[in-house]
Amino acid sequence: MLTRIVAECSTVHACATAVMQLEPWDFMAVYYDALDHFGHGFMKYHPPKQKHIPEADFELYRGVVEGGYRFHDMMLGVLLKLAGEDTTVILISDHGFHPDDLRPARIPHEPAGPAIEHSPYGIFAMKGAGIKKDERIYGASLLDITPTILTLFDLPVGEDMDGKPLVECFEAPPVIETIDSWELEVGDAGLHPPDQRMDPADAREAIGQLVALGYIEDPGDDKERAIEKTVNEARYNLAQSYIDANRYYEALPLLEALWESEPEDLRFANRLAHCYQVLDRLPEFRQTIETLIETQARLARKARKKLKQFAQRQIETKEEELSAEGPTEEEKVKERLQVQKEKREIQRLRALARPRKYWGDYLMGCLLFAEENHSAALEHLKRAEKAEPRLPFLHLQIGHIYLRLKLWKDAESAFAKALDIDPDSAQAHLGMCQSLLPRRRNLEAAEEALAAVGLLYHYPRAHFALGVALHRLGHIDRSVEALQVALAQNPNFIEAHKRLFYIYRHRLKDPEKAEDHRKQIKEISRRRRARAIRSPAAITSSQEVISAPKDTPKTNDREIKDITTVASSAALQEEIITVVSGLPRSGTSMMMQILQTGGLGCLTDSVREADEDNPRGYFEFEQVKKLRTDSAWLADARGGAVKVIAQLLPFLPVDYHYRVIFMERDLDEVLMSQRKMLDRQGLEGARISDARLSKTFAQQVRQAKSLLAERHIQTLYVSYGDAVEHPDDIVARLFDFLGQKLDAEAMARAVDRGLYRTRQN
């Protein structure tokens, strides 16, 4: 294993240095994966020795990881020498490895199981002309690397990119130019042509069809099962990506479907329970936790029974071997393969047969905490702590309960235990800060908050806590800076607005800025009222806002008092955003025209003018295209309608109250209309067949509908054909749906049957 790692790494390095010396280049990128292999293979033997590692193995392999790093330092030295002093160099790693007690004793039996050995902290280093020296960069992520490289080359950054240029690295602020997307630029991006990319689900269906037609033999249940598992893993990874991006509504249907198809895969249930908890869907959270605990106990009993069967079979096999003649070479090969397969299965069964003793109590503790049954939650978590005292996340949960109960010293003790196990836990440092602030230990609290943001910069609650501590210490300017960072990361952080309102009004004597924060407080509270009317549970989650310490400034101003006024139903109508959605060319422009003619205000502009495809206009608003990165304009759509295509619905922020009119049209008609429009404009469009494009659109529509259902957004589905053929009926349905007085006759007259030019016969 070690020989292979070194050989492969040396080959990569040789190729990289050869290219640098023999080819002209202005950009060079090389990826070394050997450190990852060193870590997964040998970090378990790195000092200090773990209890489960044999002494002989520890002595043999204890220096491998350190040797691997020295080897990479040597290769880096060669790269830097070949690159020269005039080259900008970026060194990055997406994660590290736990070198201490956080190293796991067992790896989960799942495709991504080895990732449990990773530390979340990687490395970013940059050197070159015009780059700052000895500067610490906060909040950098892998997503920022490409925009930064584009900026180095004076190239524009795509507005659809999730990352940002790390401008704080530059001595002089660079000029940042943007384009809509590099995906739209002509050129070779190094991708396979669309018709050569294989989707796992497509592969499964293709195999089934070829078997049915008699062109290939049935590969059997095992291969079908392998394909199904591959598809499920891809969907699980997608769900996990959504969770990492805080897009829980999109992860939820994926995880629900996965658990339904694989009811014994506890990963799916664990992630699903987490989604329910974050979305404050406590009944589903409880049901999932209870089922998960029951399933785990049943699988343990089943695994123990199978292990006994394996043991009995091994005894019988040995007896048969003693009485039988020697096996042939072919039989020996089959036997070795069978033994390896059985070893893997036995390892899996042993993991199931020995369920983690603390896990059930930990899950129940989390559930009861969410249900605000704090005393019962503590009982379960204390039992879990007794079973396994070296789990930092367990002490974090206990600490948060003590914070809720205002038992500050107990909370401090719990967070201290978490930090003793994992000194690099940003969450534990923040918890420690929150336990110190109520006792006026402000200097210590500030130090803990600084430690938290130093480890995890995108952490608005930690910046807020730092701002509170600095305010109390009299460092007003630094307090304002910390609070502003908290708001930059979470603009809806009402407690940060309240403290800044107080500081600007009473400490800095700046009534203009104080008034700006007062308006923000009022606006955020108004949106929360609208959400509360729509879904009372939606605003009870602790994920979005941290409660301020006791000394959060209060004011008796009447201007702030009106924030708590309950909105009337008429006022609520003014808060609702009516979203007209569907696929492009499904009748959304026609529906916008119907609404506008009837008297409902529509958010539009004249950027895209009427043409042959839409003679009456598109009724679009240009900013909608940037919804995934900018949603501030949505405030202007309150009380009216705006057109948002189905593919952008997932990016509607949860702060507003929506209702959706979703236009449906035959997919063949949609594609025909899109093709004609592209032809008239001289554009190429998608380079795949209509059949595949239709399948993709159908899937996107299903996902959009599922999202609307999960978010409990009131939705009216309207058939384009019905709207054209029977406008009076559609107008009547719109009246019931909107609950507003509109001009029905004008709305019906707005439908022009002559524009239904592309239809299926």
Average pLDDT, the chain: 83
Please identify which residue in the block is written with the tokens 């796991």. Answer: 104
Kindly indicate the confidence band of residue 60, based on its pLDDT and cuts at 50, 70 and 90: very high
Residue type, 113: G
Q: What pLDDT sits at residue 396?
A: 96
Q: What pLDDT sits at residue 517?
A: 95
Kindly indicate the confidence band of residue 291, based on its pLDDT and cuts at 50, 70 and 90: very high
Instruction: Supply the DSSP string of 485-545, one letter for each residue.
Output: HHHHH-TT-HHHHHHHHHIIIIIS--HHHHHHHHHHHHHHHHHHHHHHHH-GGGG--SSS-
Q: Which of 70-74, 205-209, 563-567 has the highest mean pLDDT?
A: 70-74
Q: What pLDDT sits at residue 191?
A: 63
Q: Which helix or strand (DSSP H or E) is residue 386 part of?
A: helix 374-387
Q: What pLDDT sits at residue 415?
A: 97
Q: Which of 209-223, 315-329, 343-357, 418-432 has the lowest mean pLDDT?
A: 209-223
Kindly indicate the confidence band of residue 555, based on its pLDDT and cuts at 50, 70 and 90: very low
Residue 304 phi, psi dihedral angles, 5° rounding? -60, -40
Of 544 and 406, the structure prediction assigns the larger pLDDT to 406
Q: What pLDDT sits at residue 540?
A: 31
Q: What pLDDT sits at residue 498?
A: 95
Q: Which of 107-111, 307-311, 563-567, 661-665 has the highest mean pLDDT?
A: 661-665
Rounded to an integer, the average pLDDT of 688-703 is 78
Instruction: Say yes or no to pLDDT of 537 above 50.
Output: no
Rounded to an integer, the average pLDDT of 328-332 is 67
Q: What pLDDT sits at residue 565?
A: 35
Beta bridge partners of 118: 97
CA separation for the pair 340, 334 (Å, rounded):
10
Q: What is the pLDDT of residues 2-53, one digit of tens each?
A: 899 999 999 999 999 999 999 999 999 999 999 999 999 999 999 999 988 9
Kindly indicate the confidence band of residue 557, based on its pLDDT and cuts at 50, 70 and 90: very low
Residue 484's contacts (CB-CB under 8 Å, 6 or more residues apart) are 500
Whole-number percent of the chain with pLDDT over 70? 83
Instruction: Say yes or no to pLDDT of 223 above 70.
Output: no
Question: Could you tell me which of 137, 180, 138 has the C-alpha nearest to residue 156?
Answer: 180
Kindly indicate the confidence band of residue 558, based on its pLDDT and cuts at 50, 70 and 90: very low
Instruction: Supply the DSSP string of 359-384, one letter for each residue.
Output: HHHHHHHHHHHHTT-HHHHHHHHHHH
Q: Which of 138-152, 192-206, 310-324 has the lowest mean pLDDT?
A: 192-206
pTM: 0.71
Q: What pLDDT sits at residue 210?
A: 42
CB < 8 Å & 24+ apart, contacts of 538-547:
538/280, 538/654, 540/280, 541/278, 541/279, 541/280, 543/278, 544/490, 544/492, 545/492, 545/493, 545/494, 545/495, 546/461, 546/464, 546/465, 546/493, 546/495, 547/495
Rounded to an integer, the average pLDDT of 454-473 is 95
Instruction: Say yes or no to pLDDT of 596 above 80.
Output: yes
Cα-Cα end-to-end distance for the chain:
65
Kindly indicate the confidence band of residue 511, based on its pLDDT and cuts at 50, 70 and 90: very high
Count Cα atoms within 13 angstroms, Cβ side, for 530. Answer: 24
Instruction: Say yes or no to pLDDT of 430 above 60.
Output: yes
Q: What pLDDT sits at residue 700?
A: 82
Rounded to an integer, the average pLDDT of 508-530 is 88
Pair of tokens at residue 273 = 């329970």
Of 547 and 73, the structure prediction assigns the larger pLDDT to 73
Instruction: Say yes or no to pLDDT of 158 above 80.
Output: yes
Please identify which residue in the block is written with the tokens 């591959």. Answer: 230
Kindly indicate the confidence band of residue 712, based on its pLDDT and cuts at 50, 70 and 90: confident
Rounded to an integer, the average pLDDT of 420-435 is 96
Q: What pLDDT sits at residue 476?
A: 96
Beta bridge partners of 269: none
Rounded to an integer, the average pLDDT of 349-371 is 85
Rounded to an integer, the average pLDDT of 676-691 is 67
Q: Which of 304-318, 500-514, 721-735 has the highest mean pLDDT?
A: 500-514
Rounded to an integer, the average pLDDT of 709-726 is 88
Kindly indicate the confidence band of residue 740, based on its pLDDT and cuts at 50, 70 and 90: confident
Q: What is the pLDDT of residues 90-144, one digit of tens each?
A: 999 989 999 888 898 888 777 677 888 999 888 999 999 999 999 988 888 889 9
Question: Could you tell me which of 273, 337, 355, 308 has the C-alpha nearest to residue 106?
Answer: 355
Q: What pLDDT sits at residue 749?
A: 86
Pair of tokens at residue 212 = 């049915």
Kindly indicate the confidence band of residue 207, based on its pLDDT and cuts at 50, 70 and 90: very low
Structural domains of the chain ordered from first start: 2-129 (no CATH), 424-564 (1.25.40.10), 573-755 (3.40.50.300)
Instruction: Say yes or no to pLDDT of 74 above 90.
Output: yes
